[in-house]
Amino acid sequence: MGVFRLRKNKFILLFALLLSLGLILAACGGGGSESESESEASGNEGDSEESSTDFSAAMVTDIGGVDDKSFNQSSWEGLKAWGEEHGLSKGNGIDYAQSNDKADYIPNLNRLIRDEYDLIFGIGFELKEDLQKVADQYPDTYFALVDDTIEADNGVSITFKEHQGSFLVGVAAALKTNTNKLGFVGGIDSPLINKFESGFIAGAKSVNPDIEIEVEYAESFGDAAKGKIIASNMYNNDIDIIYHASGGTGNGVFNEAKDLKQNDPDREIWVIGVDRDQHEEGQIGDHNVTLTSMVKRVDVAVQDVSNQTMNGEFPSGEVLEFGLEEEAISFATTNEEAMTDDIVSEVEEWQEKIASGEVEVPQTREETEAFVDGL
């Protein structure tokens, strides 16, 4: 019995020692685990600095494409800038779906919905019907339509006062022309593009009521070949300045002007760009055929709505309108050789008149006719 008790006591002592050792190791292990957690937390904190939000946003282009040098491109630039601000990149919090045909709109919208983007932009009025449809079907997703209106609690409409900026470039064109003949090339004949046309005519005729303005629509925002043909006919008709509001179709207008300038460097021939400063599109050797551009800051609007929605302040059902007052509409002065100080000064005078309400720029052909009659 004594031997057994001794062995038993030794066993208990050994067990106690092993138990103590286990507790010490566990404590050390726990310390190591805590250190790893802190390290992971530190790593996650670093990731949060790179990606400061779980909120995601994407856009569906119209058929002009994301690199149309105009409307879609400006929208994507705005979304990219917003993404960079929050540590997001294409495929990682932001994305776009390119549409090559109207039939692509619904599949593109549905793909972005399946990818669980929180906010989806439809770029262009042609997406109105399809965006309205999916907004009704998916009430938990936010939708924003650029250049037209939708009616939905989970939808917001983003519009611009394009007629104001078009008026200003019309003034510039009237001051610059040598032939007193101007051209306007529109994409699709629609109330939206009629705003560009109306403002341009009103601005030009405010300077010279007798100026001639030829108007033609390509019925496409993605047909550069058609744009080139229209421009060729206009330039051959003694028109020396063309303002285009036609997305990718306008690339053809630029190409024709550059071809003519290359063949005859001394010829005074100009294009007025649209939506973004299209100065680069007009470069041909030592010359540049871009007189100015009607800058429409779609990028600013996209960033603004993305931030509002991310911050829980989605402008539900609202129609937002961006114009001169919001600094979302302006005219480019990049081509300093063409846009001389005297031209810029006079355009700015008209800009003040619009901003003050002294001049109310027409938005439709009927309003334009009445405006011109009153000059």
The pLDDT tens digits for 207-261 are 999 999 999 999 999 999 999 999 999 999 999 999 999 999 999 999 999 999 9
Q: Judge contact between 63 and 221, C-beta under 8 A.
A: yes
Q: Judge contact between 301 and 78, C-beta under 8 A.
A: yes
Does 1.25.40.90 match the CATH number of domain 162-295+340-373?
Answer: no
- Nearest CA-CA partner of 158 in 168, 146, 166: 146
Domain residue ranges of the chain, discontinuous segments joined by +: 57-160, 162-295+340-373
User: Other C-beta atoms within 10 Å of 89: how many?
Assistant: 13
Q: Judge contact between 73 and 222, C-beta under 8 A.
A: no
- Nearest CA-CA partner of 302 in 274, 279, 328, 277: 328
Segments of the chain scoring below 50 in pLDDT: 1-49
Report the alpha-carbon distance of residue 49 to residue 307 in Å, rounded.
Answer: 17
> How far, in Å, are 171, 177, 244, 288 from residue 292 at the CA level?
11, 13, 11, 10
Strands 319-322 and 155-160: parallel
Tokens representing residue 229 in the block: 């043909």
Report the alpha-carbon distance of residue 238 to residue 10 in Å, rounded.
Answer: 113
Tokens representing residue 304 in the block: 């603004």
Q: CA 341, 347, 349, 355 torsion: positive or negative?
A: negative
Residue type, position 140, single letter: D
DSSP secondary-structure letter at 327?
Answer: T
- Nearest CA-CA partner of 165 in 290, 295, 75: 295
Residue type, position 323, single letter: G
- Beta bridge partners, 186, equal 217, 245
User: Other C-beta atoms within 10 Å of 159: how many?
Assistant: 19
Report the alpha-carbon distance of residue 363 to residue 162 in Å, rounded.
Answer: 9
DSSP secondary-structure letter at 42?
Answer: H
3-state DSSP call for residue 361?
coil
User: What is the pLDDT at residue 50?
Assistant: 61
Identical fold for domains 57-160 and 162-295+340-373, yes or no, is yes
Does 3.40.50.2300 match the CATH number of domain 57-160?
Answer: yes
Longest dimension (CA), the chain: 128
Q: What angle do CA 42, 44, 45 make, to 5 degrees?
A: 60
| pTM strictly above 0.85 | no
